[in-house]
A and B are shown apart, each in its own frame.
Chain A
Amino acid sequence: MELVLSLGIGVLVGCGVWLMLRSRTFQVIIGLSLCSYAVNLFIAATGGLKIGRDPVLASGAVNPEAYADPLPQALVLTAIVIGFATTALLLVVVMAARGLTGGDQVDGGGPKDDQK
């Protein structure tokens, strides 16, 4: 399990970083999304992989061993929402940049700049 998930995280990070280094703005947005999946999974995994644990507390005395770790989950939950907000912001910045420069190159220039 750990092997599969860590491989998945690695692939997500790799694809995300590759895209963020590209020159077209849309690629950067997609890359950011992929990276945020990877980071969220990573944070969630810091609590350890708990399969089949009860997420909701039962009545009576609480045995912490029986439940999934709530702390990373709470962190990731807000991270998801913030990630959405930043993706939206990036998209709008990209739209505005297009309005200003007429293109969708990250650095605003034409294809020439891209050769560097």
Chain B
Amino acid sequence: MAAEMLSPWIVGAPALAGVAAMCLPSQARNAAAALAAGACLAVLAITITLVGAIEATGPVRQSLNWAPSLGLAITFRIDGLAWLFVVLIAAIGVLIAGYARGYMPADEPTPRFFAYLLGFTASMLGVVTSGNLLQLVVCWELTALFSFLLIGFWYGSQSARSAARQALLTTALGGLCLLAGVLVLGHIVGSYDLDAVLAAGPRLTAHALAPLALVAMLIGAFTKSAQFPFDSWLPRAMAAPTPVSAFLHSATLVKAGVFLLARFWTVFSGTDLWVWLVSGVGLTTMLLGAWRATRQDDIKALLAHSTLSHLGLITLLLGLGAPLAAFTAIFHLVNHAMFKAALFMTAGAVEHQTGTRSLAALGGLGRAMPVTAAVTLVAAGAMAGVPLLSGFVSKEMFFAQVAEAGGGNAAFVLAATAAGALSVTYALRLFASVFLGKTSAAAKQAHEAPALLWGPPGVLAAGCLLVGVAPAFFMGRALDLAAGDLLGGATSASKLVLWHGFGLPLAMSAAALLAGGAMWWAGRGWRAAPGAQSGRPLAERFAALTLALEDMVAPARLQRHVLMIFLGVLLAVGVSTRWSGWDLRPPREPPDFAFALLWAAGMACAIGAAVFARARRVAGVVLTGGAGLVTAVTFTWFSAPDLAITQLLVEIVTTILLLLGLRWLPLEDRARHAARSGGFVRGRDALIAATLGLGASFLAYGVMTYPTPAAISRYFLEHAYAGAGGRNAVNVILVDFRGFDTLGEITVVAVVALSVVALLRGFRPAAEAVRPMPAQESQSEARRASAKRVMLVPGLIIQLMFPMIVLFGLHLFLRGHDLPGGGFAGGVTISAAILLLYMALGVRKAEARLRIAPGRWIALGLLLATLTGVGAMLFGQPFLTSAFSYLKLGELPPAPMASALIFDLGVMLLVIGATSAMLVAIAHQSQRRPRGERDGEAK
């Protein structure tokens, strides 16, 4: 069916739009906003075409094979519940796109913001449409990642950074718990397919491991929905730009946890564990959040705590285990998304116009911003549960459910009424403090917000009104689709009514309204201290605990980190050798005196490097090079000429690089005064180093004397010539058999080179590194001029050698398929030639003769290598299949022409580009002005 074919685009459209937004120039605010709105509209359109199919035949499924041999497929499964969420996310997404366009300051990189927002939308839609549990977990973690980027969007602010980190840490840890739970579920059911898991029913819940899976998954859901005791990240996340809060913290991210609860409601809701845990956590969060919300000064903090409270309410409803309660939960979830997103948006509009979010500093804004005030009034009324607004209907159903589930238990009824009353109080407080009362200083200058800031929340407020007046008409069909089967045959129209008759629920509603109003009246003179976080000792303690945990896992001090890694390695290797039970065998090759001598030199070099690397660093570099040479010779000794060539060339380039870099590090004499590590630290490190060295020796000896199974290598040797037309098996493995791996590796090299260039772009050398040496200063002009000519003879030689070296590099490359050499070696050789030219002539002269654009080389190389792979696909072969034939040119012997050669050419171009990009970037530093000097002053 056509509609089913479109379902992958529900995730695909925003993902693609996000990539496109990333590519936009940073001023393209309108284009980025249009992309975001367009993608969300497309999702809405697709979803609406699916209604008929879902109503007629149940869930719509579409699978894309991913790794069929492993039984893995990407499955999109859209049932009623998922459908409702998709509509909610996409509809609010459209409004947020417009709102963010109006909200984000003009000088921000707004397209990047929209790219993150779209990435988040795609992953959130991925969560709700996943038909496979593992896919769900992956999307779940992606939402955590994107929310990290969005909360920390203003990364200049310390609070945004720490809030982003805490949110990531909490929700990602929860995600890991969810993964664990899903793995256990998959183990019990025998499949990760959602349909299979949902159909497992009693077989699942009766299993001994089911409670484990349930608790792990609940932790995942509670962290995401910021349920107690994982609630502290959400109020902190208010450091995010307001569109993010409106989208993530009202309608989407935090609803993912509730979605998960609703998703598995049919499976688990009957178990005692579920009822106690979910309803208990929900009740606690509802009351705590509501109480704290009344005590905030920051508008967004108030809204964040009220979000906690409403999420707690929804969780509580889901935890009650009654079908009608779950139905109410889903209804309230939609209502909450609408009014809370609207409230966040108007809060952002107020901040945008007045520059503050503090309730104490605001007041009397109603005259200056009448439209915003009206929108806020409607949305806040819906939040408080005022009749004829959407919140009233769902809240009354909530009261009815609680009264029923509690069996008339007074404490239960009281708790629910209290939460309702508190929400009336904070809604009143929010509206009255901002828009009523004396005109504050902040309100005097304020004007009505631009239409983009009140329009989108206005749409949502209108929705609240419509649903409040005629709930069955506007929400009936959607709720039937999403949760109709919970009603046991009845249609939602019979439940979604304004007038439930006289009874306990109505009394609770009235009591809540009256008590809430009275509480607000009593406390209206009270002001929270501006900026006060209010007394949340428990939450603060939990926040401190998460950060302490982070410090333990990832200490801020790198040195300690390195130490822990080594200790970990020691432990792991020690433990595994302890139980593997291997014995020492006699050596297989007789000792050779020359080889021993070589390694005596090698070890002396290594020890020397270790000693000198601190105070005599040039000596350290030279000695490291010595150890590298010994390594290269060892490779030759053991029949690995390819390695020897590459090692030697890389050695040269690395040494030059280190020498170039040395210039930008502090001088040696200063270091001599720097304190050396204490005796204990040195002793401890020496012990660790010696133990690891000894361990490595044992391990290496064991491996070398162990009889080698030649199972895989035999295949490569036998097929290198027959199958790939090459006699150098190493090169054939690289460019043909394992070409895909090589493609990955050169991509890494390219990424590293680009990172180097990016890191150095903003780098300014320290002033003293550029100042001439004292000795140089005293020299006369004439001597300095002669000093410039010091490199004259080597410079000439290098210029003459340059073409030869390039030629040699090409030779290494061309013969690579049959003789030692290849793209890597050729590329490094040519970049060494370029480097020598730079050294001999200096940056300016060298660039006057040779214009190299390393970026293009990198791109060309990567493109060529990839296209070779794609080319094979054009011939109906798998990616990167190599073809070869023999090329006969006149009287010359036939030259083998493998398509792998083109691949290797790509490798070579990329290596040249990457190496010279790094070296040139470092070399260019000498052209820069030091820090502290302003442009113009230096001239």
Contact = CB atoms under 8 A, between A and B. Distances in A.
B638 A49 contact: yes
Interface string A9-28: 11111111111111111111
A56 B819 contact: yes
Interface stretch (B24-32, B217-225, B677-685): B677-685
Contacts, number: 352
B620 interface: yes
B659 to A, nearest CB: 11
A64 B718 contact: yes
B168 interface: no
A10 B693 CA distance: 4
B717 A18 contact: no
A47 B700 contact: no
Contacts of A62: 717-718, 720-722
Contact of A2 (B588, B630, B717, B722): B588
Chain B CB count within 10 A is highest, among A52, A55, A107, for A55
Interface in A88-108: 88-89, 91-96, 98-99, 102-107
Contact of A107 (B557, B610, B721): B557
Nearest to B585: A2
Interface stretch (B114-122, B321-329, B621-629): B621-629
Nearest to B645: A77
B642 interface: yes
A57 B589 contact: no
Given A5-B599, A91-B658, A18 B610 contact: yes
Interface string A27-54: 1111101100110111011111111111
Contact of A92 (B621, B720, B760): B760
Contacts of A10: 693-698, 700
Chain A CB count within 10 A is highest, among B658, B705, B717, for B717
Please classify the interface of chain A as helix (H, G, I), strand (E, B), loop, or mixed, using the class held by over half of its residues: helix
Contacts of A98: 664-666, 766
Nearest to B722: A62
A44 B661 CA distance: 30
Given A1-B590, A91-B658, A96-B760, A8 B566 contact: no
Contacts of A81: 646, 650, 745, 749, 824, 828, 911
B643 A47 contact: no
Contact of A22 (B677, B818, B914): B677
Chain B CB count within 10 A is highest, among A2, A76, A111, for A2
B697 A82 contact: no
Contacts of B477: none
Closest 5 pairs between A and B when the two form their complex, measured CB to CB: A14-B693, A10-B697, A70-B729, A18-B689, A68-B639
Interface of A: 1-31, 33-34, 37-38, 40-42, 44-58, 62, 64, 67-71, 73-74, 76-78, 80-89, 91-96, 98-99, 102-107, 111-116
Interface of B: 557-559, 562-563, 566, 587-592, 595-596, 599, 602-603, 606-607, 609-610, 613-614, 617, 620-621, 624, 627-628, 630-631, 634-635, 637-643, 646-647, 650, 653-654, 657-658, 661-662, 664-666, 671, 674-678, 681, 685-686, 688-690, 692-701, 703-705, 708, 710, 712-714, 716-718, 720-722, 727-730, 732-734, 738, 741-742, 745, 748-749, 752-753, 755-756, 759-760, 763-766, 818-820, 822, 824, 828, 911, 914-915, 918, 921-922, 925, 931
30 contacts: A2-B589, A9-B696, A10-B693, A11-B603, A12-B606, A15-B609, A19-B610, A22-B614, A22-B677, A27-B620, A41-B634, A42-B696, A44-B638, A45-B704, A46-B704, A55-B642, A55-B729, A55-B730, A57-B727, A70-B720, A71-B716, A71-B733, A80-B643, A80-B824, A81-B824, A85-B749, A92-B756, A95-B760, A113-B557, A116-B681
Given A26-B613, A88-B918, A92-B661, 12 more contacts: A10-B695, A21-B563, A21-B566, A22-B685, A38-B696, A42-B703, A54-B639, A62-B720, A68-B640, A69-B710, A98-B664, A115-B678
